[in-house]
Structure 1
Amino acid sequence: MASHRKPRQRPLSGGTVRTAATLALAGAATATAFEGTSHADPQLTPAQVKAEVDRLYGEAEEATERYNGAKAKSDEAERALTGLREETARKTDRLNTARSALGSLAASQYRSGGLGPALQLAMASDPQDYLDRAGLLTRAGDRTAAEVAAVRRGLDEVGQLRDKAAGRLADLRARQGELAGHKAVIEGKLATAKQLLARLTAEERAAYEARSGGDDPAPTTPAAPGQRRPAASPPPADSSRAARAVAFAYGAIGKPYVWGATGPGSFDCSGLTQAAWRAAGVSLPRTTYTQINAGRRVSRDQLAPGDLVFFYSGVTHVGLYIGNGQMIHAPRPGSTVRLAPVDSMPWAGASRPA
């Protein structure tokens, strides 16, 4: 009679579990991005559509900064892993040289009929087995003891380096999983925002872009009817680091916003400020929430050109102050680096890089 027992399921391997977890995270992130919008009321007013798009863009920017943070840690783990692998290769070469010297000594003693027990063990198929019996070193000659000790140290060092490399590899894979999750969140929210914007007429979309994007990409472009343009400040003429950062930001005006980008052809908000200050010889961390603590905090009434200005309660957006109440920033996907008033977004704070 045929058995009706359920077939026994094989347990998932570690790699399969990690892959399944990453896919589940990405799927959940995308589902969250579409929550409340994939089945949204088709009768939403233009104002409601714009408010929802603003919310989605804000959440996408917050996810972008988390992506940037995970990317920086992933890059650091990858550099560390590469360094450990290179050091392991160098020490392995030295270990092989030491073992070769030990072999030459053994051959010499064998020809003279003096191959001692220590060297017999050293030339065995498993040198580590010999090295673990360190007491035999005391019965070897001084030179033999030194050679064998060098091999032992080399084996220990290579083993430790390989263990460290394995840990760094695990860390790197974890960071890459974080990147995949944040990327899914960002892309899901941007796709939903694009779908909502498609409901607006061309005129309504143009009005939304003018309102949310700040000033026009180029300072010389005429303002739209009814749109008040703040007076553009010229780049500072001095050679201070702040002036060089501001000059770089002016040169980036008109380049597209791309999340995760640090230039030279495109930027996200913190990528722009990082690149601007890098051009001035100052290294800033990658994310908005770390950049705000990278310099001296300044109050709004003490702003000077070159200061970093931050927005929203989660410190998820940053621009570069240029004077006269204006900043240069990379607003969001679909926009370009441009001028905007600092009072166009909810204020969170400012800092002055050292």
Structure 2
Amino acid sequence: MSGRLLRWACAGSALSALVTLAPATHAAPGPAPGPGERPVAELLTDLQRLYRQAEESTETYNATDEKLKDQRRRVADLNRRRAAADAAARDGRGAAGRLARQQYRHGSMEISSYVRLLLARNPQGALDQRHVIRRASAGRAATAARLTADARTADGLAAQAQQALTTQESLARRQKQARDSVRSRLKEVEELLASLTPEQLAALGRAEDDGAADAQRELVASGALGAPDARRAPSARGERALRYAVEQIGKPYVWGAEGPSSYDCSGLTQRAWRVGGWDVPRTSQEQWARLPRVPLRELRPGDLVVYFPGATHVALYLGDGLVVHAPRPGARVKVSPLAANPVLGAVRPDPEGSAVAGWRPPRLPSGAREGSDAGWGGAFAGRPSPTPSRN
């Protein structure tokens, strides 16, 4: 199956049945209810929306960051080529100046060449001299042509470098806008969570876990993952990528991070596959757009599972309906049900890779499945806030 699994549509009836968590000492209702008066389902919807927007902005930041790195390399290359062209043009101007001074001192050698031939005591010597004169004339023409070409090359590279620099400045502005958008969304998350009681946070965690469990059961029951007992083996590269990802379990999610001490979702998948010996794009959108698609029923360990309509989240398939991923700010790399988020589809970085014989799944560390995918379970009780520190 490659369509979307609308996670909360399955759990909507259960969430709508949850009661409002209102403090016992609450006064008469005002014009707009505060966080403590709103139903858990509504709070959960808001939090998921904010996290999704933050992840979309994070992937926009990552994509712009990659383009900015490429553009900086292009600007540096153009500047090197421009410097070489400027040096060649200076050398050409020097050569042209020497020819001009030589002609000024000795006059034009071309005017007297025929006369010298007629008056020469040694006609053969004069013919040899005329050959030299022609070669000198051709050399002057070549010098002039080279000077013109070098000047044009230098001017063209100067224009390209200026245009590339303008593009770089535009990308830097877009990168800052994406960074500010991430920070804004995460600040909203932090403010909303800070307004809730521990009981409300616990209720939110239970609601999300229940929704994920319902979505996972429906996914398995639908047969979308193939036969329940079908255990496929990864490719050699996929195995190395997956084992690396499992070794990262417990490390924190940090937006824009590519490891090795912290990751965002696509930073983890890219680095894991790079360790596996295969380069994949930096962002989840590019991974979804550029890597070969594979049906969920044919998933094998190491494949990448992509989530949300905008392809803004990605995880590595572990097998048995589980994934390894960096869920959200405030959470840590962990193992989760494949349907912990709405599935868009799956991709396979190395479709030609042969399955490993005698495959054995990696041993999971203790607590690999602990912690909420929500990112808020205990994240704001004595732990750093999700506000990013990356500049």
Q: Common fold, TM-score beyond 0.5? A: yes
Return the letter of the residue paired with 1:52: D
> Quick check: 1:179 aligned with 2:175?
yes
Aligned to 2:145: 149
Q: CA deviation at 1:318?
A: 0.3
Aligned to 1:54: 48
Select which of 332, 336, 339 maps to 2:335. 339
Select which of 314, 337, 341 maps to 1:318. 314
Q: CA deviation at 1:40?
A: 6.8
> Quick check: 1:195 aligned with 2:191?
yes
> Quick check: 1:41 aligned with 2:37?
no
Q: CA deviation at 1:240?
A: 0.9
1:213-251 CA-to-partner distances (Å, cap 9, x unmatched) read 99xxxxxxxxxxxxxxxxxxxxx9998111111121112
> Quick check: 1:278 aligned with 2:274?
yes
> Quick check: 1:114 aligned with 2:110?
no
The change in CA–CA distance for 1:206 and 1:90 in structure 2 (over 3 A counts) is farther
Q: CA deviation at 1:97?
A: 2.0
Aligned to 2:259: 263
Q: CA deviation at 1:113?
A: 3.0
Q: CA deviation at 1:281?
A: 2.0
Aligned to 1:77: 71
State the alpha-carbon separation in 2 of the partners of residues 251 and 62 from structure 1. 26
State the alpha-carbon separation in 2 of the partners of residues 318 and 238 from structure 1. 18
Matches within 5 A, 1:100-139: 100-110=94-104, 112-114=105-107
Aligned to 1:11: none
State the alpha-carbon separation in 1 of the partners of residues 34 and 199 from structure 2. 21
1:68-104 CA-to-partner distances (Å, cap 9, x unmatched) read 2222222222211111111101111122222223333
Return the letter of the residue paired with 1:265: S
Return the letter of the residue paired with 1:302: E
State the alpha-carbon separation in 2 of the partners of residues 213 and 84 from structure 1. 53
Alignment length, in residue pairs?
A: 273
State the alpha-carbon separation in 1 of the partners of residues 237 and 165 from structure 2. 38
Q: CA deviation at 1:150?
A: 0.8
Question: After the TM superposition, which of the residue ranges 330-339 and 174-183 deviates more from structure 2?
Answer: 174-183
Return the letter of the residue paired with 1:266: S
**Alpha-carbon RMSD:** 2.8
Q: CA deviation at 1:105?
A: 3.5
User: Taking CA–CA contacts closer than 8 Å with sequence separation of 6 or more, which of the two structures ends up with the larger relative contact order?
Assistant: 2
Matches within 5 A, 1:205-354: 205=201, 208=204, 240-354=236-350
Return the letter of the residue paired with 1:326: L
Q: CA deviation at 1:165?
A: 1.1
Aligned to 2:159: 163
Aligned to 1:132: none
Runs of at least 4 residues of structure 1 off by over 6 A? 236-239
State the alpha-carbon separation in 2 of the partners of residues 94 and 248 from structure 1. 50
State the alpha-carbon separation in 2 of the partners of residues 108 and 206 from structure 1. 92
Select which of 93, 101, 107 maps to 1:99. 93
Return the letter of the residue paired with 1:306: G
Q: CA deviation at 1:114?
A: 3.0
1:35-68 CA-to-partner distances (Å, cap 9, x unmatched) read xxxx873433444333311210011111211222
Instruction: Give 5+ residue unaligned stretches, structure 2.
Output: 1-31, 110-133, 211-231, 351-391
State the alpha-carbon separation in 2 of the partners of residues 264 and 275 from structure 1. 9
State the alpha-carbon separation in 2 of the partners of residues 238 and 342 from structure 1. 17
Instruction: Give 5+ residue unaligned stretches, structure 1.
Output: 1-38, 117-137, 215-235
1:83-134 CA-to-partner distances (Å, cap 9, x unmatched) read 1111101111122222223333344444x43379xxxxxxxxxxxxxxxxxx
Residues 234 and 301 of structure 2 are in contact (CA less than 8 Å); yes or no, is this contact kept in structure 1?
no
Q: CA deviation at 1:188?
A: 0.8
State the alpha-carbon separation in 1 of the partners of residues 42 and 204 from structure 2. 12
State the alpha-carbon separation in 2 of the partners of residues 213 and 157 from structure 1. 63
State the alpha-carbon separation in 1 of the partners of residues 156 and 342 from structure 2. 51
State the alpha-carbon separation in 1 of the partners of residues 101 and 335 from structure 2. 78
Return the letter of the residue paired with 1:103: G
State the alpha-carbon separation in 2 of the partners of residues 148 and 213 from structure 1. 77
Secondary structure of 1:143 counterpart: helix
Residues 40 and 203 of structure 2 are in contact (CA less than 8 Å); yes or no, is this contact kept in structure 1?
no
Secondary structure of 1:321 counterpart: strand
Residues 310 and 350 of structure 1 are in contact (CA less than 8 Å); yes or no, is this contact kept in structure 2?
yes
Return the letter of the residue paired with 2:189: A
Seq. identity, %: 38
Q: CA deviation at 1:158?
A: 0.5
Return the letter of the residue paired with 2:61: Y
TM-score normalised by the chain length of structure 2: 0.64
The change in CA–CA distance for 1:55 and 1:238 in structure 2 (over 3 A counts) is closer
Matches within 5 A, 1:17-28: none
